[in-house]
């Protein structure tokens, strides 16, 4: 596993994303079911972190809470030092639109919009100037300048994910959430998309929260966390060292 980058300038800035004692329970057939418990987590601007874990360990739930798609039953999430999880749904959506972007496993392009319009969509939601120019630029950047007017149904899986990447980076987010971005692609395409994701991430200095099964992809992140039975652990360096539960304080760069 790679050693996390801990550059000086990052140390001096405010954490971008903080999770404090985050917990999530849902009602189950035999009473409350705990999905996540006591999650403490801090992400600095520009930092990349991979979250891995077996199926059902709560990866998607955690990503949902961090991105404000869902609300925790205990604890809170802070975005740029401001309460995020306590905001109402619309408040979270607007804040997310200003600061964050997403890449999904199943691409989630709008079928009725062509590639260009799909990339323009978050720009327009944000009220950005010249969305068409920006969107064209980013599609060119991901190598799809010849596919601007194509609809998702006429694009391959790899191409669709590239449109999704262009859509994510076009808004110049401070934080990118990526949920299994290579999960629906074959090995070759998955590799290319992973490459592109980290290239763009590096170029733009966007912070990245990556949920993945792909150990290789996770290994390219500065930090690697593992979810087990609803609790978050720092993934140890390769070797016979047992996992150690982390806290917000000791995980901070």
Partner 1 sequence: MIKAWLRPWRDRAFQLLALAIIIAGFALSSIILLHAELEQRFAVRTAEMLGGELTLTGTRAPEPDQRELLKNKPIATVVDFSTVLVHNDELLLVSARAVDDHYPLYGQMQTAQGRFDKAQAAPQGPSPGELWVADQVLDRLNVKPGDRLAIGSKELLLSAVIRQLPDQSAGFYSMSPRIVFNAKDLASTGVLGPGTRITYRQMISGDAATIAKLQDNLDATLRPDQRLEDIENAAVRSMGPLRQLTLWANLAVLLVAMLCGATIYLATSERVARRARLAGLLRSFGAPRRQIISRLLGAEFIAILPASAAGSLLSIGLITIIHQSLDWQGSLAATGVQWLTILIAPLVLWLAFALPRLTALIRVPAIDILNQRNKAKPLSTNIELTAALGAPVLLAGFLTSSLADLGNLLVLLVVLGAGLPALLWPLLKGLDLISGKLPLASRLALRRLSRRPALTLPLLAALTMAMAVIALAGQTGNQLLDEWRSRLPEQAPNHFVLNLFEKDFQVFNQWLDKQEAVTQPLYPIVRGRLTEINGVPVSQAVTKEKENRNEALNRDLALTEAADMLASNKINSGAWHPAKNTVSVEQELADRLGLKLGDKLMFITSRGSVNTEIASLREVDWDTFEPNFYFMFAPGGLAEQDITWLTGFWLPDGDGKRLAELMMQLPHITLLDVNTLLNKANEIIGQASGATALLAVLLMIAAVLVLTAALLGGQAQRGRDNALLRTLGGDRALLYRVTWAEFITLCGSAGLAATIIIFSALYPLTAQLLNDTPTLSYWQLTPLLIGIVVASIGVLASRGALNIPALSLLRDES
3-state secondary structure 16-82: CEEEEEEEEEEEECCEEEEEEEEEEEEECCCCEEEEECCCCCCHHHHHHHHCCCCCCCEEEEEECCE
Position 242 contacts partner 1 (CB under 8 A): no
Q: Which of 243, 237, 168 is nearest to 209 (CA)?
A: 168
User: How many residues interact with partner 1 (rule CB under 8 A)?
Assistant: 31
Q: For partner 1, which stretch binds (CB under 8 A), given 32-40, 107-115, 186-194, 195-203?
A: 107-115
Does residue 113 touch partner 1 according to CB under 8 A? yes
Of 46, 122, 158, 230, the one binding partner 1 by CB under 8 A: 122
- CA atoms of 129 and 237, how far apart (whole Å): 45
Q: Give burial (CB, 10 Å; 0-12/13-18/19+) of 74.
A: middle
Taking CA 182 as the corner, what is the angle to CA 168 and CA 1, rounded to the nearest 5 degrees? 100
Closest to 103 measured CA to CA, from 47, 177, 50: 177
Considering only residues 179, 193, 201, 230, which one is a binding residue for partner 1 as defined by CB under 8 A? 179
Site string for partner 1, 65-104 (x = CB under 8 A): --x-xx------------------xx--xx-xxx--xx-x
Q: Interface with partner 1 includes 128 (CB under 8 A)?
A: no
Does residue 244 bind partner 1 (CB under 8 A)?
no
Q: Which of 108, 137, 150, 213 touches partner 1 (CB under 8 A)?
A: 108
Binders of partner 1 in range 10-39 (CB under 8 A): none
Return residues touching partner 1 (CB under 8 A): 60, 63-64, 67, 69-70, 89-90, 93-94, 96-98, 101-102, 104-106, 108, 110-113, 117, 121-122, 124-126, 151, 179
């Amino acid at each position: 596993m790679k050693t996390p980058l801990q550059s000086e300038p990052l140390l001096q800035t405010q954490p971008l994303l903080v999770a404090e004692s985050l917990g999530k329970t849902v009602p189950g057939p035999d009473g409350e079911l705990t999905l996540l418990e006591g999650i403490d987590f801090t992400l600095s601007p520009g930092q990349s972190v991979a979250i891995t874990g077996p199926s059902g360990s709560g990866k998607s739930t955690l990503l949902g809470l961090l991105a404000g798609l869902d609300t925790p039953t205990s604890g809170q999430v802070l975005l740029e030092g401001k309460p995020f999880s306590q905001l109402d749904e619309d408040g979270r959506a607007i804040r997310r639109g200003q600061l964050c972007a997403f890449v999904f496993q199943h691409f989630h392009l709008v079928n009725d919009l062509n590639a260009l319009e799909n990339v323009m969509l978050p720009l327009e939601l944000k009220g950005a100037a010249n969305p068409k120019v920006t969107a064209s630029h980013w599609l060119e950047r991901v190598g799809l300048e010849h596919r601007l007017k194509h609809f998702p149904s006429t694009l391959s899986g790899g191409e669709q994910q590239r449109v999704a990447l262009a859509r994510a980076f076009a808004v110049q987010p401070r934080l990118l959430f990526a949920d299994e971005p290579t999960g629906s692609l074959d090995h070759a395409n998955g590799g290319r998309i992973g490459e592109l994701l980290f290239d763009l991430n590096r170029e733009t200095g966007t912070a990245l929260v990556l949920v993945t099964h792909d150990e290789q992809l996770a290994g390219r992140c500065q930090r690697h966390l593992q979810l087990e039975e609803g609790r978050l652990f720092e993934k140890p360096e390769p070797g016979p060292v047992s996992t150690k539960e982390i806290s917000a304080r000791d995980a901070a760069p």
